Amino acid sequence: MITVENLTKRYGGTTAVQDVSFTVQPGSITGFLGPNGAGKSTTLRMLTGLTPPTSGTATITGKRYADLPNPGRVVGVMLDAAAQHPGRTGRETLLLNASLLGVPKGRVDEMLEAVGLTSAAKRRVGQYSLGMRQRLGIASALLGDPAVLILDEPANGMDPEGIRWMRGLLQDFAARGGTVILSSHLLGEVQATVDRLVVIGGGRIVANGALEELLAGSGTLVRGLDPIGLNQALTAAGLRLEPLQDGALRVDATAEQVGRAAAAAGQILIELRQSDGAGLEELFFQLTSAPVAEAA
Amino acid sequence: MTTVTDVAPSAPAKHRAEVATALPPARGQSFLKLVAIELRKSVNTRSGRVLLAAILLLALVAIGWQLTHLPPGAAGFDGFLGAASSGVMLLLPVIGVMAMTSEWTQRTALTTFTLSPRRVRVQLAKFLSAIVLAVVAMTVVILLAVAGTALAGAVTDHTTSYAGMGGQLAGAYLTIMLNVVMGAAFGAVIPQTAVAILVFFIAPTAWSLAGPALFKDNANWLDVWGAFGRIAERDLHGMVPETLTALGVWIVLPTIAGLWASSRREVK
């Protein structure tokens, strides 16, 4: 379990992260989203003890990261898969970490196999593709059999096949009671993987909740033979709506409410369904592009 | 079904419950373990191995040269040691520098300091591992020098002399350790390998060249190469305060500054 409370980080006069609070529960995967420079990485680095916060606390299983006697046995961290020594072999990289974590060498070969790097284990990391380095980073994070995973852009550089594998791995990990927080810019991938979302914009949390709930807010999509007439009818019925470019309307109401209002005004509907919009992508821009609004 | 070339593992990853019982209980990281790991890190990269091989090769070449160019009189161990150890004196500090800088230039600090958040401990382990490596490398070089001396006695008509060997060994060990700690300290202060190595070699040399011209004998207070020379000769020429000051300014001060800087440096 990860608990972040009122984390703030200032660099001189600029505030990178302001009063950020959220929790990540065991058995769930939380997507941590935000545009570049929104404070994502800074938050993850404060969480992993790399950057001291100006104020606030971040704890993992109830302890500050720096107070964990052997952090790798509790939390698997991969902040940048590219940050590995190119002059070491993949296996040697893991053996070093295994020694530090106090896990047997057999675990290293097990992990290499689990991430599909057995055949490349004796090659130098410098010859690895980014996707392979991601796999090595995942192997390293899982090495100490942690209860918590903190991953920054784990799918970056992976092929579709690797991304699907990673999704299975993380969902499996969470299903066993593991706690996962991951950041990603691949919104489609995030939508397919995570249970919960924490969205950060301009250093503040702008959304925090279950994926379904956050996406459900988009209402009902309706299309009528007479778009203008339908618009007037629904507005007259007191429903809040937003015209879309293709003539459809998105209404903040249930399909039933929309149907009744349209029927009452004699409007003919040619489409009426739950609005899916562009899903996470639309939500993301809605939340992060506007001059940062108050937390949702 | 067509054959699919599958790079991803077909078996689900083994983690958590499946292996949880098989792993030994989690323990803290002893300082000794950190030292052992840092030692391993300085020799398990290609650049580390190349440097060690170069040190060995230089020692062998120097001994070979010494064997074929023996001065008249007894073949002295001191001559062989002096020749054989010049390579190690020159190159081993580079390993000390790299032990510190490679974490930042290769960005492995990200992993190192997330796995061991107490950075000063890790840095101290690096210093100690650099010293251990220096002692091991110097021991190999000394053994080669002994072998070279013995070989000179066996295949040439020179007699061999091991006069003053104890003192020479003490001087050699002490100098190499000071050298490598100084290298590591410079690496801790300046996180770019190339810049740190340049400054390590150039700054004290520049002082030993320019200092005497500017400050006459007072330059001795900051001449660290001079101090090393006196220590290697085990004769401080009555310049104890000068020697200690030079060591303080070029070794102790950068060590402290380096520990402070690298424990606060932002890991990118």
Report, as ranges of residue numbers, the positions in chain B whose pLDDT lies below 50.
Answer: 1-20
The radius of gyration computed from the CA coordinates of chain B, to the nearest angstrom, equals 23
Of A199-203, A207-211, A283-287, the poorest mean pLDDT is in A283-287
Coil, helix or strand at residue B14: coil
Confidence of residue A290 (pLDDT cuts 50, 70, 90): low
Tens digit of each residue's pLDDT (9 = 90 or more) over A219-248: 788 999 999 999 999 999 998 888 887 888
**Size of chain B in residues:** 268
pLDDT for residue B69: 85
Tens digit of each residue's pLDDT (9 = 90 or more) over A93-118: 999 999 999 999 999 999 999 999 99
Q: Tell whether the model's pLDDT for residue A292 goes beyond 90.
A: no
Q: In chain B, where does DSSP find H-type helix?
A: 17-20, 31-43, 46-68, 77-105, 109-115, 119-155, 165-189, 193-215, 224-233, 240-247, 253-264
What is the least distance, in Å, from the CA of A76 to any CA of chain B? Answer: 9
Structure tokens at B27: 């323990």
Structure tokens at B50: 């190349």
Q: Exposed, middle or buried: residue A212 (CB in 10 Å: 0-12, 13-18, 19+)?
A: exposed
Coil, helix or strand at residue B73: coil
Nearest residue of B to residue A67 by CA position? B117
- Identify which of A194, A202, A188 has the alpha carbon closest to the alpha carbon of residue A279: A188
Q: Exposed, middle or buried: residue A86 (CB in 10 Å: 0-12, 13-18, 19+)?
A: middle
Tens digit of each residue's pLDDT (9 = 90 or more) over B113-141: 999 999 999 999 999 999 999 999 999 99
CB contact (8 A) between residue B23 and residue A104: yes
pLDDT for residue A248: 87
Interface subset of A 144-163, CB within 8 angstroms of B: 144-145, 147, 159, 161-162
Give chain B positions within 8 Å (CB) of A104: 23-24
CB under 8 Å to B156, separation ≥6 — which residues?
B67, B70, B75
Interface subset of B 195-234, CB within 8 angstroms of A: none
Confidence of residue A253 (pLDDT cuts 50, 70, 90): confident
Q: Which residue out of A96, A105, A109, A153 would a mutagenesis test of the B interface target, given it has the greatest number of B Cβ atoms within 10 Å?
A: A96
CB contact (8 A) between residue B26 and residue A86: no
Question: How many CB pairs below 8 A link A and B?
Answer: 135
Interface subset of A 178-237, CB within 8 angstroms of B: 178
Give chain A positions within 8 Å (CB) of B112: none
Using CB atoms, which residue from A92, A100, A113 is nearest to B9? A113
CB contact (8 A) between residue A92 and residue B114: no
Nearest residue of A to residue B102 by CA position? A85
Structure tokens at B8: 């991803």
Q: Is A10 on the interface with B (CB under 8 A)?
A: no
Q: What phi and psi, each to the nearest 5 degrees, are found at residue A59?
A: -130, 150
Q: Is A103 on the interface with B (CB under 8 A)?
A: yes
Residue pair A181/A32 in contact (Cβ under 8 Å)? The answer is yes
Q: Is B3 on the interface with A (CB under 8 A)?
A: no
Q: Is A116 on the interface with B (CB under 8 A)?
A: yes
Q: Is B44 on the interface with A (CB under 8 A)?
A: yes
Structure tokens at A31: 């997507």
Domains and CATH numbers, chain A: 2-211 (3.40.50.300), 219-274 (3.30.70)
Using CB atoms, which residue from B16, B26, B29 is nearest to A178? B16
pLDDT for residue A217: 60
Q: Tell whether the model's pLDDT for residue A296 goes beyond 70.
A: no
Count other C-beta atoms under 10 Å from residue A240's C-beta: 11
Is the sign of the CA dihedral B75, B76, B81, B83 positive or negative? negative
pLDDT for residue B221: 82
Q: Is B7 on the interface with A (CB under 8 A)?
A: yes
Confidence of residue A263 (pLDDT cuts 50, 70, 90): very high
pLDDT greater at residue A253 or residue A6:
A6
Task: State the Cα–Cα distance between residues B228 and B220, nearest whole angstrom.
Answer: 12
